[in-house]
Structure 1
């Protein structure tokens, strides 16, 4: 289906643009954020006018629990230094990285979520990232832009996420669909966490399954996306909770369901498996079944 960009056309705080749209709008009045995961990648090549901003400033430890999202007043100075204002669009893009090669495809959705979580409502994601831009003849530069400091103020969009107490109380409600965006092997078995498996009731929907096999920054065609989410019964009438390991992979599916597809009730469990598994009494389940033959309690080591 032919799309008119920015997509979707309806009112949406996050929209996607393609490389052809960007070629005609690169000089528009907007902030451009290069969110490649290493500064050397940015130095090697970036979009004209783009300022580099590392996604890691969006989170920090809180009470000893790692990877907790920072409030708007903490992230505002960073956004201001790269020219973000409340009234201008902000284009975010990434790349695997020509120098370090650390990019995994989530930098774009992570930064878009960080912007909108802090109250910005004009984020643009470059579908396919810098790889597709270059493949379609787009030019890059090594020149650093002159950026005027922004006036980003922000406000916390608490309706975008669910905290631990509410999550534990509501995750098993009949109308709730809890998704786990981690790779299937981690969902079923052992990852980096002291406990193995997944949160009881969580449905496996690996975020990478929704993206192009050759480019994890590019969404699959709409028909394929609908087929994939149909298999997990992710319908607009359900309350969707997106989770993963630390809340980062879940930003991909939060943006997809809330902004791209326009589902009315979508939130992130930001604490995700890291927070859930930090409580010794919380059960986890191994294997492909959301609840397993029997819920298995894995003790904290």
Structure 2
């Protein structure tokens, strides 16, 4: 395997590591970037900055949040549609939510989450789910706080219980259609040689039985658990760049291919979509929002059980 196909050279890795501290990272005109706690502390009182708290429970926000942060739970983003449980809400509803927290499409917004101090819940994904959604629906300057609120707290930084005064904005939702891939297109292209499909779910779910009526995974999908990309203690903190480079190399994720990120409901995959599209600047990245939930809703679709992308000895099995 040619390392240069997948990862930067050693010299470039050192530069990338420095650049990540030189937030916002990376440079360029990407819609989503990474910022550090140092950067946020320095810019916290910028007049045009909105800080968005996406902790898992509103009581977590009430208990503690970064000063000036306004609360917006990811639960407002998705609603059922004709029975299917995980579709985005109507554009008018999303727009009203974004307006109420004062978002402006061209003014920076920092998104963070935590393991809630009150609820004890939170897997770190709320900030990537919100960041992806904001970018998809028209925001142009989205910053993800590397490490989230837990990193902020671990450094002894200021917390607040005050609610900011927020004037509603005139944010206009404009859906960007090139991020997501729908079911019909996914079925058509997923097995092409220039496509790699990733499954961000835990390895044991990828290989066996999750909550879905079908076990296993979509044939051909490569297991890349999103949690393997994050710090062992803090699920909102990315691993160091050299560790990420090695993981990408080991999985053969060639930047010349189209990377399709999948998971169970499209939520876990936002972590990897953001990583590849905006942090690693891969040129062709899509997110299959329906993911395994939509795949398994079609009883005739094949699945593969086990740790390999495809069955080696038997044909892929179908749901009974």
- Flag whether TM exceeds 0.5 (same fold): yes
How far apart are 1:87 and its partner, in Å?
2.0
Match of 1:24 in 2: 42
- Contiguous gaps of at least 5 residues in structure 1: none
1:15 equivalenced with 2:33 (yes/no): yes
Q: How far apart, in 2, do the equivalents of 1:83 and 1:70 lie?
A: 19
- Conserved in 2, the CA contact under 8 Å of 1:163 and 1:269? yes
2:18 is paired with a residue whose SS is coil
Cα offset for 1:195?
Answer: 0.3
1:69 equivalenced with 2:69 (yes/no): no
Partner residue in 1 for 2:270 = 251
SS of alignment partner, residue 177 of structure 1: strand
Aligned residue for 1:296? 316
Q: Return the alpha-carbon distance in structure 1 between the equivalents of residues 276 and 213 of structure 2.
A: 30
Aligned partner (choices 131, 134, 139) of residue 158 of structure 2: 139
Matched, 1:170 2:189: yes
1:57 counterpart = 2:73: no
Per-residue Cα deviation, 1:206-250 (whole angstroms, up to 9, x for no partner): 000000000000000111001001111112101000000000000
Distance 1:172 1:201, change over 3 A: same
Alpha-carbon separation, structure 2, partners of 1:113 and 1:128: 17
Q: Please, which of 10, 18, 21 is the counterpart of residue 2 of structure 1?
A: 18
For 2:144 and 2:168, the matched residues in 1 are separated by 22
1:118 aligns with 2:134: no
Instruction: State the superposition RMSD in angstroms.
Output: 1.0
| CA distance in 2 between partners of 1:262 and 1:296 (Å) | 34
Does residue 181 (structure 1) correspond to residue 200 (structure 2)? The answer is yes
Where 2:318 maps in the other structure, the secondary structure is: coil
Aligned-partner SS, 1:74? helix
Task: Indicate yes or no: 2:128 matched with 1:109.
Answer: yes
Runs of 5+ consecutive residues of structure 2 not aligned to the other structure: 1-16
Q: How many residues align?
A: 300
Residue 71 of structure 1, CA deviation? 4.6
Residue 295 of structure 1, CA deviation: 3.0
Q: Is the 8 A contact 1:281 1:297 kept in 2?
A: no
Q: Distance in 2 between matches of 1:160 and 1:87?
A: 19
SS in 2 for 1:33: strand
- Whole-Å separation in 1 of the counterparts to 2:169 and 2:58: 21
| Distance (Å, rounded) in 1 between the aligned partners of 2:145 and 2:299 | 41
Is the deviation greater in 41-50 or in 2-11? 2-11
